[in-house]
């Protein structure tokens, strides 16, 4: 569900990003999880959480997947399987809304993974920075009808809003990038 009351004023959110074996939320596996809290509009980097996850089909990581996120099979050999980290993730998800960039992938993957492992999805409210970008784009077009559209891609959207580049395709740094983007959007949508 999307956080409807006032996502811009939520006192606490957890920015989340996943790196997965692909882009199919019905079958691809989680390789890493990054979560960064925002409390009272401040990113709490000291409370970040990053976890590599050993997929069931470890030796089947595609070359394309490895090229994108630089996670090698040997990086994951000692990592816990997803079922061992779900409760730790769920604890965070129950603290406040979940902040993601493109909920169609990450939230769908998480719902499936929780279900597959017999655990209840915590049902956090979801704030999607892509939706907030759409709101900002709509507002800007009302003011400047010929304005260039705001890109939906995380890095391109950040650049458009004047945020610095970040290390892409790393779950923790993408979660941080999403948190920073949210705060920038919050300022522009107030």
Query: Percentage of residues in the chain with pLDDT exceeding 90?
Result: 88
Cβ(127)–Cβ(117) under 8 Å?
A: no
* pLDDT over threshold 50, residue 3: no
Cβ(95)–Cβ(124) under 8 Å?
A: no
* pLDDT over threshold 70, residue 106: yes
Strand partners, 49: 35
* Core vs surface per residue 156-190: b (16+ CB within 10 A) or e: ebbebbebeebeebbbbbbbbbbbbbbbbbbeeee
φ, ψ of residue 64 in degrees (nearest 5): -65, -45
Q: What is the mean pLDDT of residues 28-43?
A: 97
Q: Which residue has the tokens 């990086």?
A: 75
Q: Where are the domains of the chain?
A: 7-189
Residues 73 and 66: their CA atoms lie apart, in Å, by 9
Task: Return the CATH fold of 7-189.
Answer: Nucleotidyltransferase; domain 5 (3.30.420)
Q: What is the mean pLDDT of residues 23-32?
A: 94
* pLDDT over threshold 70, residue 77: yes
Q: What is the mean pLDDT of residues 136-152?
A: 94
Q: What is the mean pLDDT of the chain?
A: 93
Residues 79 and 94: their CA atoms lie apart, in Å, by 24
């Amino acid at each position: 569900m999307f956080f409807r009351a006032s996502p811009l004023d939520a006192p606490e959110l957890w920015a989340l990003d996943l790196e997965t074996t692909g882009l199919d939320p019905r079958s691809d596996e989680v390789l890493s999880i990054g979560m960064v809290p925002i409390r009272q509009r401040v990113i709490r980097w000291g409370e970040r959480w990053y976890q590599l996850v050993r997929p069931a089909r470890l030796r089947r990581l595609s070359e394309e997947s490895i090229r994108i996120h630089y996670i090698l099979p040997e990086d994951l050999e000692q990592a816990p399987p997803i079922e061992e980290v779900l409760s730790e993730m769920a604890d965070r998800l129950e603290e406040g809304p979940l902040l993601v960039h493109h909920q169609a992938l990450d939230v769908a993957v998480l719902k499936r993974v929780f279900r597959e492992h017999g655990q209840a999805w915590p049902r956090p409210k979801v704030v999607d920075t892509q939706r907030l970008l759409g709101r900002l784009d709509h507002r800007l077009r009302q003011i400047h009808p010929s304005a260039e559209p705001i890109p939906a891609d995380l890095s391109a959207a950040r650049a458009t809003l004047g945020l610095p580049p970040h290390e892409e395709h790393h779950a923790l740094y993408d979660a941080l990038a999403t948190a920073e983007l949210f705060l920038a959007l919050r300022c522009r949508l107030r």
